[in-house]
Amino acid sequence: MSDEPSHSPEEPGNASLAGADLIRDFVTRLPARPGVYRMYDAKGDVIYVGKARNLKNRVSNYTRPWGHTNRIAAMISLTVNMEFVTTATEAEALLLEANLIKRLKPRFNVVLRDDKSFPYILIAKDHDVAQLVKHRGARNRKGSYYGPFASAGAVNRAINTLQKAFLIRTCTDSTYANRTRPCLLYQIKRCSAPCVNYIAQEPYDALVKEAEAFLGGKSQAVKADLARQMEEAAGALDFERAALCRDRIQAMSFVTQTQGINPQSVEEADVFGLAQEGGQTCIQVFFFRSFQNWGNRAYYPKADRSHEAAEILSSFLAQFYDDKPVPDLVLLSHEIEERQLLEEALSTHAGHKVEVAVPQRGEKKALVDHAVTNAREALGRRMAESSSQAKLLDGVQRAFGLAETPRRIEVYDNSHIQGTNPVGGMIVAGPDGLIKSQYRKFNIRSEEIGSDDFAMMREVLTRRFSRLLKEQGEERGDEQAKDVQSWPDLVLIDGGQGQLSAAKAVLDELGLSDLPVAGVAKGPDRDAGREHFYVPGRASFMLEARDPVLYYIQRLRDEAHRFAIGSHRARRSKAIGVNPLDEVPGIGPMRKKALLQAFGSAKAVARASVTDLAGVEGVSSALAQAIYDHFHESAE
């Protein structure tokens, strides 16, 4: 759906008012209709998004002088402006609210984190010979979709086993069209080789139908039919065909046995189990399709400690299904306040009737209990890891003499090959470990840098912190505004005193002399464990060989190195496919083809004289001069 319906927001309120007074001023002009409201702070950021059946009544609750939790009171006090959008129904308001929360991530809302799309298995039928593939994103290919699966690994394992069971091709259409002999998958009995006509169209289509029946929940019928075929083949002394049927039955059994709980009475459902401890929340989601368990995934929504479990679950569900297909049945571990409204909203979103239930007995209750148990165990593991992470960050504080425990550490590294395709990489770590959504790569822009690592680091840090200053300015000293997505508490540079000096010069020039920065240099012979650490104003030092903090910093440095190298390789691979002639103004596909046919390569074109260039069909004297000048600018 679109971000907002076509309704106009209210006019801005009195600029001299704030907090409850500002909200009271807005209430006088609000309609008694369903809608969504947004609260803004002094920086212009949305700090809360809410929905209401009656905007006037809902927003007027914020004007009461008492009865608010600390979270709501703080939210009211920070509000300097509001915007309102009316909707036709409360269900439409709920969907719009979820959409805005996911996009804006307001600090006082429950926010769904790690919201990645789910992979599916697709039996694609946009080719005469169907293909078995993993699929993400929009369902715009013709074929049958099965899932969702909890992870790409789960899909890959399922496809690997389905290849053994049904011998359906997984190659691309272009690979299929250009085969002259069967590939390795045929040799290891994972494909029937339709590409070289080792199997006719009709029996291949029969294999596809069996796969669809199996994925559609009719696994027992498919296995029974294969068992019958195996017995017939054995009776006819066709032991090779009997062995093939046996292997396929074993592969199918492996799939059904490794799916864990497979319900007998639940054909299609998503099961949500919530657990809370120590102010943290985990929600486990299990996916059941065609009476089979297609895996589970744990979520840790961002929510204030004052949020109740039911409130978190309700907000989570609306955001979760904002961009995902909704099953016929949704099972919950906690009763939520607006269950009927959520049913109405999800039914509208899905285009079919959706039931949201909190089972009290039977198999459905067992599924929910299983999800809650997994949520509780996952939360326990996460809290144990967080405890260990907190101890490591305390150790980093002591090792580098920081004023407080770091909540955001940025690590920088560069990668290039003799100065070509240079790339800088930044990784980020915090209380919950590596924050991959915050990683950044920097394609080095200056052509004069070459292989000068110091110059690369200066460019990377200048671009990074100039932009941060522009976006956040003096707010980096505001503890209330400080979070893991803004200013670093420690900057680590992969390098010794020289790299540190280059980094410190950049920070001093930008007025960030107080930002903690340190260099990490490998020891003699680049031995891990003998690293020297450099901090401005201190002599270089080493950590004890078995210090956990040393291992932690090594892991951060290695991750920065891995990310920088990966970014460099991606840029280099992209550059390999770029022809230098593409950069010459006036050279289109036809002229480029003519030049390459005439000279054999782009390098030969670069060495050619103006006269030789002008002799190529379609190249005028003026264009020949332009081509020559393009490749000889540095010589002029």
Q: What are phi and psi of 350, to 5 degrees?
A: -85, -25
pLDDT at 454: 83
- Residue 46 binned pLDDT confidence (cut-offs 50, 70, 90): very high
Domain 268-380 annotated CATH 3.30.420.10: yes
User: Is the pLDDT higher at 425 or at 37?
Assistant: 37
Q: For 47, what's the count of Cα atoms within 13 Å in the CB-facing half-sphere?
A: 22
Q: Is the pLDDT of residue 476 over 70?
A: no
The per-residue pLDDT for 324 is 81
Reported as a single tens digit per residue, the pLDDT across 150-178 is 777 778 877 887 888 788 999 988 888 88
CB contact at 8 A, 158 and 121: yes
Cα–Cα distance measured from residue 631 to residue 319, given in angstroms and rounded to the nearest whole number:
54
Identity of the amino acid at 171: C
DSSP output for 596-635: HHHHSSHHHHHH--HHHHHTSTT--HHHHHHHHHHHTGGG
Model pLDDT for residues 221-268, shown as the tens digit of each residue: 777 777 877 888 788 887 877 887 787 777 666 555 444 556 677 888
Sign of the alpha-carbon torsion through 22, 23, 26, 27? negative
- Span 175-200, pLDDT tens digits: 888 888 989 999 888 899 999 999 99
- What architecture is domain 580-635? Orthogonal Bundle (1.10)
Taking the C-alpha atoms of residue 598 and residue 606, their distance in angstroms, rounded to an integer, is 12
Mutual orientation of helices 90-104 and 309-320 as an angle, nearest 10°?
Answer: 90
pLDDT class of 333 with cuts at 50, 70, 90: very high
Q: Tell me, what DSSP letter sits at residue 476?
A: G
Whether residue 421 has pLDDT greater than 70 = no
pLDDT digits (tens, 9 = 90+) for 93-144: 999 999 899 888 898 998 887 666 778 889 999 899 999 988 887 778 898 8
Judged against a pLDDT cut of 60, whether residue 497 lies above it is answered with: yes
- The CATH code for residues 409-475+484-566 is 3.30.420.340
pLDDT band at 577 (very low <50, low <70, confident <90, very high): low
Q: What's the mean pLDDT in 594-605?
A: 80
- Distance (Å, rounded) from C-alpha 215 to C-alpha 209? 10
Q: Where are the domains of the chain?
A: 19-104, 120-257, 268-380, 409-475+484-566, 580-635
First to last CA, the chain: 57
Region 374-398: what's the mean pLDDT? Answer: 86
Q: What architecture (CATH level 2) is domain 19-104?
A: 3-Layer(aba) Sandwich (3.40)
Looking at the chain, the whole-number percentage of residues with pLDDT higher than 70 is 85
Closest CA to 427 of 560, 521, 518: 560
Per DSSP, the three-state class of 633 is helix
Residue pLDDT, tens place only, 527-559: 555 788 999 988 888 888 778 888 889 889 889
Amino acid at 65: P
Q: Please tell me the predicted confidence (pLDDT) of residue 1.
A: 42
Angle between helices 219-235 and 239-257 (to 10 degrees): 160
For the chain, what percent of residues have pLDDT higher than 90? 28
Dump pLDDT digits (tens) for 440-450.
888 876 655 65
The Cα–Cα gap between 111 and 384 comes to 23
Burial class (CB in 10 A: 0-12, 13-18, 19+), 572: middle
Three-class SS state of 634: helix
Q: Do 19-104 and 409-475+484-566 come out as alike in CATH topology?
A: no
Q: Is residue 148 pLDDT above 90, yes or no?
A: no
